[in-house]
Amino acid sequence: MKKTVIGGLCAILLSAVSTLAHAETIRIANHGQSGIDAMKSTVERIEKKYGVTVEVVEYPAPDKDYLTKLLTELGAGNAPDLFSIPTASAVADMVEAGYLAPVTKEFKAWEGYNGLYDVAKQLAVSPDGETYVMPFMLGIQEIYYRKDVLEKAGISTDQPKDWKDLLDRAAEIKKKTGAYGLLFPAGVAWGGGAFDEGFQHLIVGSKTPQIVDADGKLDLNGEGVKDVFDVYKQLIDNDLMPVQPLLGPEPWVVPKYEMFPQGKLAATTCGSWCYIFDWGRESKNPIPDVTKVVGTWTVPGQSGGQYVLANLAAPWAVNAKSANAELAIKALMEIGSVETQVSYAARIGNIPASKDAAKNADFQKLTELVPIHAAAGNGVFLKQASGFGTVSEGVARATEALLRKETDAAGAQKILVDYVKETLGDDAVK
């Protein structure tokens, strides 16, 4: 019997109490001070344009805690009218649970619709063909590498041609510099990042480039899935990526905030935000002249090709049970404005989903992001289906076993498949 899909999103749901919105008030949920700051001008614009009061509810900042609290309130029927969703992999499950209001008609009639990149429009469409989120920001992820470290060691900085070339480059880095050659996020502690910032980079260029078939079933038994886990295994077995920090409670801190700035890790998957927050002007461990000494490679495919991974970055949605749904949908369209996109880009480091942002004077000042924004038009993505939250957790568990050297690639694939079947039912997996 199929178990509840939403259970795959959160293992434990915390109880929460909140008040229902009054007719003249819209309650919106956001997390993290940067996100709240980015929304300030938009909130003021919504209040002025529609003559309402916008109450901003600050939720716990860590994505997992925020999602847990949000799902609790949605399930209880007392969630805010409008909210950001911390991980796009949760959207399909939230749709199936009936938590999100459809906005297809309003979205396509919205004045900013035609200005969006095609990939943003496509990412916004749920498996049922409807749109439930505002795809205002994109996460554009690539491999970021220490150009200065490689050049000093006489190692090529050319774009790797395929997985073998990428792994060979990582091995050469380790041999000539002593630094770890490459990091793909992995493990239970990293949570959704093992899927969002690791696994999906590789799967889109594998023999199984999509893990959802035409009928919406999860296709997790393909050869490409095993091959992706084999890349992890090679990196781990050959000591090419730091393992011990990934088993700690905050696995990203040591590799990305310490080892990479120190040149002890030479390459890692990351996104546009890394030029600002991880190693740039907002970092606690900045790399001097970061855009000059840190270059980017697109993730190569298994047998060639290059893949610029795009996903929705914290999309916004309307509570299906909102007493002010019509007004909340109007506010949602305001969140999609170029002005809001640029405000988020400046503070969060993600990429505006609108092509028109390139003409915005404030965005042009964000010189780190301008070329990445231009590349967004070539972005690729994984089609989603109900159960993606569970797949994400399964990938975390499978890569955890690889980190601990408890299994091989085939065993990791079995862990993923078994977890998804156990959580969602046998019929959920092809």
Residue 354: CATH number of its domain: 3.40.190.10
CA 311, CA 111: separation in Å to the nearest integer? Answer: 22
Q: Which residue range is the domain that position 14 belongs to?
A: 5-117+313-371
Say whether both 159 and 229 belong to one domain: yes
Instruction: Count up the domains in the chain and report the number.
Output: 2
The confidence score (pLDDT) of residue 135 equals 96
Say whether both 245 and 96 belong to one domain: no
Cβ-contact 217, 384 below 8 angstroms: no
The letter for the amino acid at 7 is G
Position 255 in a domain? yes
CA 392, CA 188: separation in Å to the nearest integer? Answer: 10
Say whether both 61 and 171 belong to one domain: no
The confidence score (pLDDT) of residue 9 equals 44
Say whether both 284 and 174 belong to one domain: yes
Say whether both 280 and 222 belong to one domain: yes
Residue with tokens 């502690």, as numbered in its chain: 189
Say whether both 22 and 106 belong to one domain: yes
Q: What is the pLDDT of residues 17-34, one digit of tens each?
A: 333 334 489 999 988 888
CA 310, CA 250: separation in Å to the nearest integer? Answer: 24
CA 72, CA 10: separation in Å to the nearest integer? Answer: 10
Query: What SS3 state is found at 47?
Result: helix
Angle at the Cα of 194 from the Cα atoms of 79 and 280, rounded to 5 degrees: 85
Say whether both 172 and 288 belong to one domain: yes
Position 224 in a domain? yes
Say whether both 29 and 82 belong to one domain: yes
Residue 140 has φ and ψ, to the nearest 5°, of -105, 115
Say whether both 356 and 210 belong to one domain: no
The confidence score (pLDDT) of residue 13 equals 36
Residue with tokens 């399964």, as numbered in its chain: 394
Residue 275 has φ and ψ, to the nearest 5°, of -65, -20
The letter for the amino acid at 51 is G
Position 127 in a domain? no
Please tell me whether the overall predicted TM-score, pTM, comes out greater than 0.85 for this model: no
Position 380 in a domain? no
Position 405 in a domain? yes
Q: How many CA atoms lie within 13 A of 161 on its CB side?
A: 5
> What are the average pLDDT values for consecutive 10-residue runs of the chain, which has 430 residues?
44 34 77 88 95 90 84 95 90 94 98 96 93 95 96 98 98 98 97 91 94 90 97 98 96 96 97 90 90 94 90 94 96 97 92 96 93 86 87 97 98 98 93
Q: How many Cβ atoms sit within 10 Å of the Cβ of residue 97?
A: 19
Position 133 in a domain? no
Query: Among 143, 184, 182, 211, which Cα is nearest to 399's?
Result: 184
Cβ-contact 369, 349 below 8 angstroms: yes
Q: How many Cβ atoms sit within 10 Å of the Cβ of residue 13?
A: 19
Position 381 in a domain? no
Position 379 in a domain? no
